Structure 1
Amino acid sequence: MTTSHPLRHSTATLFLDHGVELVIIKELLCHAHTGVTAGAYAYVWIRLQRPAIDTLGYALGSTDGGPAARDGSTG
């Protein structure tokens, strides 16, 4: 028997990828709390946070493969 549950996960992941606020996703999925939604999609949050983490590393002068290291600039 096929259920709609995988479609819910795909939809929520697409919403997160496109910047829809967590509280809106929570409401659409009928979750009781945003913590339920955040916990279920933590793997997406980690992926979405990577550019922000790289930017911070670049701003702090990191040389571990951030944007400056990738494009060959020195800051």
Structure 2
Amino acid sequence: MINLERSEVAPFQPPWGHIDISQLTFTQSAMVSSAPLTLSVVSISDGLTISTSWQPEALDEAVAQGFCHGLSDWLKYLGHGK
């Protein structure tokens, strides 16, 4: 379950705007797969374990690394809260 609140003022404004997370609960692991890219998210006692893998012949390495870097930045941003 995720409770989200929109905020008008934020120190960092990503393209999608600022969202404060008041409650974030993971009850199980989740996996999103597509042909060239696999993203696995697993909830552990002290946070999340996120792993990504991609097929080099199907996805450019720069694109995959950019995705991973963007995901890392997004999760850090979400972790800052209020």
The structure carrying a bigger helix percent of its residues is: 1
Is TM more than 0.5 here?
no
TM value normalised by structure 2: 0.27
Specify which structure has the bigger relative contact order, considering alpha-carbon pairs within 8 angstroms and separated by 6 or more residues: 2
The structure carrying a bigger strand percent of its residues is: 2
